[in-house]
Structure 1
Amino acid sequence: MHPPRELFKASAPAPWQRAALGANLLGPDGQLGITIFEEMTALAQRTGAINLGQGFPDEDGPAEIKDAAQAAIAAGANQYAPGKGILELREAVSAHQQRFYGLSPAPQTEVLVTTGATEGIAAALLAFAGPGDEVLTFEPFYDSYGAVIGLSGATHVTAPLLAPDFLPDMDALEAAFSERTRIVLLNNPHNPTGAVFPRQVLEHVVDLARRNDCLIITDEVYEHLTFGVSHIPVATLPGAGDRTVTISSAGKTFSFTGWKIGWLSGPQELVAAIRTVKQFLTYSSGTPFQAAIATALALPDEFYQGVADTLRRKRDILSEGLQAAGFDVYSPQGTYFVNVDTAPLGITDSVDLARRLPGLVGVAAIPVPVFCHPQGAERTRSLLRFAFCKKVEVLEEAASRLAGLSGKL
């Protein structure tokens, strides 16, 4: 059966169309496309290329975390968790925030467990933004931000991050605020650029949010993946606590992206509003995985430092291959992504190169323009993003292949 044609002939874009448009999935002809991640992954599979496009690890996290999940399953933790998450994990999140940042969210009222950070972000945006509002993000931006902002009916406004350090132009940032700004959605450490914003930038964002009386939602999933710099949660800054919702997850830090365990914390009234939306999205999820992540959050400091040190080594291995290929390499201070400029090779269309790269050298990457609105896409037209959250031997092979790129162009 086919759906009625009338469903696709509405005078205004349907919610799914707004979501697709926000994520750059709707073509000028109105045809629905696929995400660049799906396209590049399929291309890598078809060509046998090393997939450094989509950002997920190719090996599991610590065995004790898997053991904790298996123990929870064996103990019968297999039914619905409470809508706000099991108390053990909410207490672990609160203890983590106190241990690393000096924050003390109340587990009963100021912490909410979500189905990954993605659901936390979606529930927060849908709770507070709607038609007539503006949501401000930096650009490039993670594609799900644009999708959910579009779904909410709000307008997506951006402030550019500029190479080589991918910090914002402060005047442009201030100009992006307006009386309609309802939410600042801040990703720090930042995907896709790898920037870790210094205190000066974060304090300016807080000041602008205060002056424009808007909320701050922070996506901090890469909080422990920084190299030589410290992550500063926005909620720790003066004037930020009463207007900030902090979101993170287990996937990136512990290398269990498939478990989809996330959480958020903030003022009681904001968390209650988000929970109102969240409970009608998934209600709850992953009961035994929640218990396991409570165990994970209590791992010693050596674990967290080891994760960052290992990733720094992987970053350097891949970066050497990218430099040998002839790219300008922008070394990231966080996340597990490194960006390059293709212009030194005489290539100014990174989307085209991304589609040719698997066939040329057997490596797949993601073009940065797909994370931008049209003007931003032009500004980042020659940038490519590579993920280095892979095994060392995989990265060494990718670096070797990339080093021969200039001879094949």
Structure 2
Amino acid sequence: MQPLNDLELLALLDSLESDRAERKQTWKGSAPDKGREAVCAFANDLPNSGQPGVLFVGARDDGEPTGPEFEVTDALLQTLADIKTDGKTVPPPTLTVERRVLKGRAMAVVTVWPSDAPPVRYEGRIWIRIGPRRGLASAQDERILSEKRRYRDRSYDTRPVYGSDMAALKRSYFEHDFLPQAVAADVLEANSRSYEERLASLGMIASVDEPVPTVVGMLTLGKNPRVWLPGAYVQFLRIQGIHWGDPVLDDAELDGTLDTVLRRLDEKLKAHLATAVDFTSGSVVEQRSSAYPFSALQQVVRNAVMHRTYEGTNAPVRVYWFDDRIEVHSPGGPYGSVNKQNFGRPGASDYRNPAIAGVLRTLGFVQRFGFGIAEAKRSMRENGNPEPEFQVDDSAVLAILRRAP
């Protein structure tokens, strides 16, 4: 994934009929919305070029620079980088943002690589490009994109679960609960896709011609996901003490769909989150302090479910609550551009399960991508807890959250 050189960028900038270039004079008015549509279209790569598309900010429609009134600021570059993480485009696109000097003027250059798990949606709509035109995908376009995912798949979460069939999925939940959250209302109203076509478009089955549930389909819609994916559950233990082997007060295996597992886990965490009440401070209003901030617990456990590996292991995510700490074990070490050295740093993010990440965003469990650890650290500090500790190796990630003094 190498950045394009100046000659390659200039060729795209001047190619007015290219399906790989979009130009915006500024980042004001309708430009942010249209620019995100372009990013979505580049990620879908309907022409199947296999080449990155480029969004130029600071260029006129004819490819010439906007002029001295336009300035590439750090704030603009950060805003453009947020396209990847703001949760509006799912699965999250792979892109880079940089300041480049072209034709004697600075421009902001957003380079977008084709997605490994199309179709990609921006606010529930699938955008594509045919030549210089940008538009919404038709039913046939969606089918082509789904077929591309089938054959160039790299992520395990979009592979078929062979031996299962569509009878293993909850159709009513898909049509009445998940689909309205995943697809814009006007698109749903306008199209006449079949049940199979809608499942395939959202990656829940391999394709219309191969109606086999995928891993993400089984985790999202499955009647009993654990039958097909034995590690798809969370093991929760509340241990009375600080050592392994101390008495267990509560033991639960939380399984079912992603929605069910995470909601049950929220309830379990709330039930065990002890609140201390202080009547001795002299205040008329009682002072409450929590041993852990609930938002930090949510971020860490949801990260564990989203980024864990489901391939080659039957191990669950483990949440072990001791008297002095909470340990969250996630099967699978760091992935892609994330390694032991940069794990947890701002901006260091990659997606072993891009389709699962998209589902969690659709269901409202994730608001932004790549901010979970930062939010956990912030809320722990504000609550008076030490920052979370992470022990990272090739096969697992262990997060340790220590109780507030």
Tell me the TM-score normalised to structure 2 length: 0.25
Work out which of the two has the higher radius of gyration on C-alpha atoms and give 1 or 2. Answer: 2
Q: Judging by fraction of residues, say which structure has more helix.
A: 1
Tell me the TM-score normalised to structure 1 length: 0.25
